[in-house]
A and B are shown apart, each in its own frame.
Chain A
Amino acid sequence: MTDTTPDQMGGAPAAATDETKPFVEFADKSGGYFAETFLSIQKAKLPATHVNWMAAIAGFPWAALRANKMLFWIGFLIDLVAAVYLMQVWKFSRAAEQAVIDNKDFLVERFENWTTSSLWAAVIIFILGRVIFGWLADRLYFRQYNTWRVDHSKPSGWDMKRLVWATLIVAMIAPLMLYRASQFPPEERTCIKQARSIAAGEEVAFKDQFDCMIIGEFPTIVWLERRDTVTYPRDDNGDRFVRREAPREGLPPVNLNSYTAQLIDDGIGYLTAFYGFFFDGITTFLRSMLSAITAVFVGTPWIIAMGAIMAISYTMAGARITIFVAASLCYLALFGFWQTAMDTMSLVVAASIICIVFGLPLGIWVGKSKRGQAIITPILDIMQTIPSFVYLLPAVAFFSIGKPPGILATVIFAMPPMVRLTALGIRHVPENTKEAALAFGANPRQLLMKVELPQALPSIMAGVNQVVMMALSMVVVAALIGAGGMGFIVTEALANTRTGAGILAGIGIALLAMMIDRVVQKANTVKH
């Protein structure tokens, strides 16, 4: 537990020169050894194989005495993991004995295997870990010296009192960890049963209760009475009304999750039952918008559509990118994806148009008004963190399946960058240009149209590009709820393990994305 051995190599602290004096002052005990080690670290002469064997043998208590937090946690973790494996050895050997008694041969063999592998793991982790610990010790301790040199209030030297802290930390963590490793955790069902029997007033052994509370799943704390079942049947006139039925007698209470899920379902049910016309209206609008766009993309004969796309790409982005576009179009056509790709494009265009129409004014509002920013930014944050799949759920709940809900889910997913980048562009318009326009008598509308929007345009166009890209990726996912297009081929291939078909469609989607991205980006840079 002390650094006496290395002391003999480095000589007594008294022999310290001017050069090594701060080292000795810092290290306190075994100053000579550390003076020499630190000096060789400073001269970059420390051998790569240098290990502080005292530290390696002593383990994390050494780090505690030296007040090196980082090293303490590393050392503690090594020992803890090794100990956990040892406890598992005990657990599995007990289980093996039990299996012998129960006459379950296959279990005996499995548990014995686990016993051996756990033992090996424990030994290897312990020995290797301690060597690494010893290797790190002096190097990390030197870093500690560097921080101490800047700020002498940082801990230095050697102090037995620090062991008290270390012991406290170990006492708080280790016992439970080791206990958990030595026990098979109770199953959730067992614990639910147990909770009921406790509620019914039966006696339950303390160990079982403890296991359920501490080492299994987080215990279910909140129990709630079941809600009434709500349905929305039609009366004789064909109007819907709300019918509530109390839950059957004697059904056990439910947990927070089931209760809230039920609540949400009821809410959605209510909205669709009584405000169905609203959702139907949206669906109808989306459908007619989509069919108009589809008529252009799918209804145009492929030869004209290809020519048009290439012409657009040439005027917008030049010859080089048009060659790439032509090659991509050939791929889509040759592999039989033409119609499907155009179908996907219609979805993307429909969703992007909606995103831009709503996102642009919203972005302007967020960019100009503090309140707008305070309201919208958190919503955008949430929209961007929710995984894309989750958007499919409310879309299906309110709009059933098919293309319209697919478009809606896509819109929600792809809208944030439009709003954000528009707001960013507006906010970054230099104050002095706005001031100049105001000084010459611009009204708010002129300010927006002649000064702010033109200067925010590059940012807005970057937003449009992002919207299109994200819409494309979401449209593929939306195939899961029947939006069709290229995504349908991929999801179908996934379901039937037709890997080849899936990969070909995947490449097609990637080419579509790259085509749009290159053209829009190039068009953007050419203009500015």
Chain B
Amino acid sequence: MNDNREEGVVVTRNVWKIFGSRADEAMEAVRRDNLSKAEVLEQFGAVVGVKDVSISVGEGEIFCIMGLSGSGKSTLVRHINRLIEPTGGDILINGANVGQLNAEELRAMRADKIGMVFQNMALLPHRTVRDNVALSLELRNVDAYTRAQVADRVIELVSLQGYGDRLPSELSGGMQQRVGLARAMAADPDILLMDEPFSALDPLIRRVLQDEFLDLSKSMNKTTLFITHDLDEAIRMGNRIAIMKDGEIVQVGTPEDIVTKPADDYVADFVAGISKLKLLYAHTVMEPLEAYEQRKGPIPQAEAPVAEPDDDLDKLIALSVNQDHPVLIKSDGNVVGVVSKDAILHGVQGEA
């Protein structure tokens, strides 16, 4: 029980959340009869928000959660700092069971370990941007001078310099979202819960903030749960991606797994139309040299372009343009495979 460290920084074990006055009853019935979300709603008037979710997020990992609207992403993430009590299951942070903390311990854990960016921003309307950003420090009784210094630094990070003394109501939606982001970063927590933090931003600033955030979380080794609707964003940011549907997690995997081996039609629909150029690598699309030469005859190895097994499709395409020969894949100077133009085209279509 105490030795869960190797399991991950944030672990959920069979977490269930059912909303409604008859939640416990519904919970039992679901466990017994394996009812669907619609059946629970009909029989108990209760909504299944999260259904038997077990995930484990390792230290420094960015774990993306995707899914349709209402699939339970926010609900799941809210369990982690216990804004919501689970109907069943446990949440462990660094091996400590969040559900067993008393009020003071919980408060301390929220203040020191976990930062959160809210989907609806939830800024305090009566406070200036600076005071909003410094909220977590103020709650920890940090002195005003340090607060202002930290806040101004973070405000600059989200490119809102000069807006420190404005009220949130004077800012645009995207700017408010950045204030929410800055507020979470100012707390400097080990774990970040980000509920669609970039959804209201224009593509340019979004790209900048994504890079900024990637750098930051790499250098500061932050563990992040990142909710997004945008598959491109998930692929860009996530070490792993979880796809949710009706409160359940239908698939967890690396971006490449999700794109190339969707677990079911739902996931396949999700990833249809995504560009595979940066997701597929030579080692996935290549075929053995012998197999190729049997079909097409020998390759003049001196003229053929050469790539590494870890190069992505994008690079392979660049090499094959204006080339009559297939690309040779070499690892440590040895030929390990061949990628023909046909293989590249299949790869672009997503058939590895």
Contacts and interface: CB of A to CB of B under 8 A. Distances in A.
A455 B136 CA distance: 18
A439 B139 contact: no
Nearest to A439: B116
Given A432-B118, A436-B118, A446-B139, A441 B125 contact: no
Interface residues of A, number: 18
A157 B238 CA distance: 75
B83 A438 contact: yes
A109 interface: no
B47 interface: no
Contact of B112 (A438, A441, A454): A441
Nearest to B131: A450
B139 A442 contact: yes
B123 A433 contact: yes
Nearest to B116: A439
Given A433-B123, A454-B126, A441 B140 contact: yes
A440 B124 contact: no
A442 B183 CA distance: 14
Interface in B74-109: 81, 83, 107-109
Query: Which of B83, B118, B122, B140 has the most chain A CB atoms closer than 10 A to its own CB?
Result: B122
Contacts of B139: 437, 440-443, 446, 450
Interface string B171-204: 0000000000001000100000000000000000
Contacts of B114: 439
B122 A455 contact: no
Given A432-B118, A432-B120, A435-B83, A440 B125 contact: no
Contacts of A433: 122-125
Contact of A443 (B107, B116, B118): B107
A432 B176 CA distance: 14
Contacts, number: 63
B287 interface: no
Given A435-B83, A446-B139, A440 B122 contact: no
B111 interface: yes
Query: Which of B112, B114, B115, B136 has the most chain A CB atoms closer than 10 A to its own CB?
Result: B136
A440 B126 contact: no
A131 interface: no
A439 B125 contact: no
Contact of B126 (A436, A438, A443, A455): A455
A441 B107 CA distance: 5
B118 A440 contact: no
A440 B111 contact: yes
Contact of A439 (B83, B108, B112, B123): B83
A438 B114 CA distance: 11
Interface in A485-525: none
B24 interface: no
B50 to A, nearest CB: 17
A102 B44 CA distance: 83
A454 B135 CA distance: 14
A432 B122 CA distance: 5
A441 B124 contact: no
A273 interface: no
A457 B140 CA distance: 24
Interface in A408-447: 430, 432-433, 435-443, 446
B110 interface: yes
A480 interface: no
A96 to B, nearest CB: 74
Interface of B: 81, 83, 107-112, 114-116, 118, 120, 122-127, 135-136, 138-140, 183, 187
Closest 9 CB pairs of A and B: A441-B111, A436-B122, A432-B122, A441-B110, A440-B136, A454-B126, A439-B116, A441-B107, A442-B139
Given A436-B123, A443-B139, A446-B139, 6 more contacts: A433-B122, A436-B124, A439-B110, A440-B135, A442-B139, A457-B126
